[in-house]
């Protein structure tokens, strides 16, 4: 029968096209072509009206069988393509566990930051507040309110970068203490430390830098004595250089404190026996301190007959250099990773 041949040739063509389909998209096109509205089967269905009553159901059945076959082949092919895709994906996504990993370099905290953090922690533990202030400061807070009027010779102790007549780069973090005292309005007690960068017109060399870090402390209250200062200094010395350290106070001069002292710590390298670090003396000078000068208290609104205070200041670089035997202060500022990485926090 001609129609049977026709069906067979459609089936053959479909079989071939399905076999050759390379992707789901191509397979869908094949399906549309052979099973869609405009397929060759539709032409056969249309020509059914010309057939005899007996032939019609036979042809109808054959056509449906042919379509079912094609659908089955398409389903099989779809599964095959899907399997291939999965296999390909697995292949592509394999992880080669023997490959060397990507190197990841975590940063380290700078040594100066580490030491600052450590000292801050100790003071926070003793109830101090950490205060910060601007590096660009006015003369009034950096000098005048600290008992250093305009022509005071002690201004030479801190050679200054001036921006203009009244503005400068702070030479110490003491102006933060002034700011805090003014804020408290001469009424409340003060217990703060002030870490930060300071600037001085020094020629840079192995032990001098025009910019360095300081931590200063200030306590103002109604019954503050030199004994409180001494106890506090001993705590800092031991935190920084070990629990066996002792301290020694020598009379000194700062305009903002009276009396003023220079604080020596027994040498952490030789335990006081004498070595090259302590220049054979057994002692190393590390801090400046004293009882807050009455003029300083009064200038920031504190009644000096009611309030007393003590203050101290320490250079962070100096501590780091002593502790880790660093012989050139410039090492802190060059961002040389070989240096920085030696101090993993
Ligand atoms: N402000 C002083 C300085 O920078 C340090 C210091 C602070 C000394 C407090 C005594 C008391 O040199």
Residue 99 within any structural domain of the chain: no
**Number of C-beta neighbours around residue 289 at 10 A:** 26
Q: Which atom of ligand 1 is nearest to the CA of 171?
A: 4
Going from the Cα of 17 to the center of ligand 1, the distance in angstroms, rounded, reads 92
Site to probe by mutation for ligand 1, drawn from 148, 181, 313 as the one with most ligand atoms within 8 Å of Cβ, is 313
Does 118 lie in the same domain as 87? Answer: no
Going from the Cα of 145 to the center of ligand 1, the distance in angstroms, rounded, reads 14
- pLDDT tens digit sequence for 57-91: 888 888 889 999 999 999 999 999 999 989 999 98
Q: Which of 93, 122, 140 is the last residue of a domain?
A: 93
Does 150 lie in the same domain as 76? Answer: no
Going from the Cα of 312 to the center of ligand 1, the distance in angstroms, rounded, reads 6
Residue 103 within any structural domain of the chain: no
Residue 163 within any structural domain of the chain: yes
Site to probe by mutation for ligand 1, drawn from 214, 256, 257, 262 as the one with most ligand atoms within 8 Å of Cβ, is 256
Does 204 lie in the same domain as 320? Answer: yes
Does 291 lie in the same domain as 196? Answer: yes
Does 154 lie in the same domain as 268? Answer: yes
pLDDT at 236: 92
Does 253 lie in the same domain as 182? Answer: yes
Does 152 lie in the same domain as 76? Answer: no
Site to probe by mutation for ligand 1, drawn from 141, 169, 254 as the one with most ligand atoms within 8 Å of Cβ, is 254
Residue 217 within any structural domain of the chain: yes
Residue 101 within any structural domain of the chain: no
- pLDDT tens digit sequence for 220-239: 999 999 999 999 999 999 99
Residue 102 within any structural domain of the chain: no
Residue 314 within any structural domain of the chain: yes
Give residues (CB < 6 A) around ligand 1: 172, 174, 216, 254, 257, 288-290, 311-313
Going from the Cα of 216 to the center of ligand 1, the distance in angstroms, rounded, reads 7
Does 294 lie in the same domain as 231? Answer: yes
Residue 237 within any structural domain of the chain: yes
Q: Which of 64, 93, 122 is the last residue of a domain?
A: 93
Does 285 lie in the same domain as 242? Answer: yes
Going from the Cα of 266 to the center of ligand 1, the distance in angstroms, rounded, reads 21
CATH number at 260 reads 3.30.930.10
Residue of the nearest CA to atom 5 in ligand 1? 313
pLDDT at 42: 84
Does 172 lie in the same domain as 241? Answer: yes
Residue of the nearest CA to atom 6 in ligand 1? 313
Residues of the chain with pLDDT under 70: 1, 345
Residue of the nearest CA to atom 3 in ligand 1? 172
- Counting the structural domains of the chain, the total is 2
Which range of residues forms the domain containing residue 194? Answer: 111-340
pLDDT at 116: 96
Site to probe by mutation for ligand 1, drawn from 137, 216, 236, 262 as the one with most ligand atoms within 8 Å of Cβ, is 216
Q: Which of 60, 93, 126 is the last residue of a domain?
A: 93
Does 151 lie in the same domain as 235? Answer: yes
Residue of the nearest CA to atom 4 in ligand 1? 172
Does 295 lie in the same domain as 204? Answer: yes
């Amino acid at each position: 029968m001609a129609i049977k041949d026709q069906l067979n040739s459609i089936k053959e063509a479909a079989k071939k096209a399905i076999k050759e389909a390379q992707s789901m998209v191509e397979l869908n096109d094949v399906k549309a072509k052979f099973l869609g509205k405009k397929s060759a089967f539709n032409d056969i269905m249309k020509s059914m009206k010309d057939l005899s009553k007996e032939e019609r159901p036979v042809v109808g059945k054959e056509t449906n069988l042919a379509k079912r076959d094609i659908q089955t082949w398409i389903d099989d092919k779809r599964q095959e393509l899907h399997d291939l895709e999965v296999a390909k994906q697995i292949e592509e996504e394999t992880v080669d566990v023997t490959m060397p990993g990507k190197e990841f370099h975590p940063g380290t905290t700078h040594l100066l930051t580490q030491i600052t953090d450590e000292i801050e922690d100790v003071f926070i533990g003793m109830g101090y507040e950490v205060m910060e202030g601007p590096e660009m400061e006015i003369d009034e807070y950096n000098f005048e309110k600290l008992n250093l009027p305009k022509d005071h010779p002690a201004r030479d102790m801190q050679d200054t970068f001036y921006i203009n007549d009244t503005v400068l780069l702070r030479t110490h973090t003491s102006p933060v203490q002034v700011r805090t005292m003014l804020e408290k309005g001469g009424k409340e007690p003060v217990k703060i430390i002030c870490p930060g960068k300071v600037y001085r017109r020094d020629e840079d060399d192995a032990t001098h830098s025009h910019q360095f870090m300081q931590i200063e402390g200030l306590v103002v209250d109604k019954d503050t004595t030199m004994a409180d200062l001494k106890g506090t200094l001993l705590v800092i010395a031991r935190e920084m250089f070990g629990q066996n350290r002792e301290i020694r106070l020598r009379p000194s001069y700062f305009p903002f404190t009276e009396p003023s002292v220079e604080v020596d710590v027994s040498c952490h390298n030789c335990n006081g026996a004498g070595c090259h670090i302590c220049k054979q003396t057994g002692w190393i000078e590390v801090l400046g301190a004293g009882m807050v000068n009455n003029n300083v208290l009064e200038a920031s609104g504190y009644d000096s007959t009611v309030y007393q205070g003590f203050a101290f200041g320490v250079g962070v670089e100096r501590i780091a250099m002593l502790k880790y035997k660093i012989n050139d202060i410039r090492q802190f500022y060059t961002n040389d990773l070989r240096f920085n990485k030696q101090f993993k926090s």
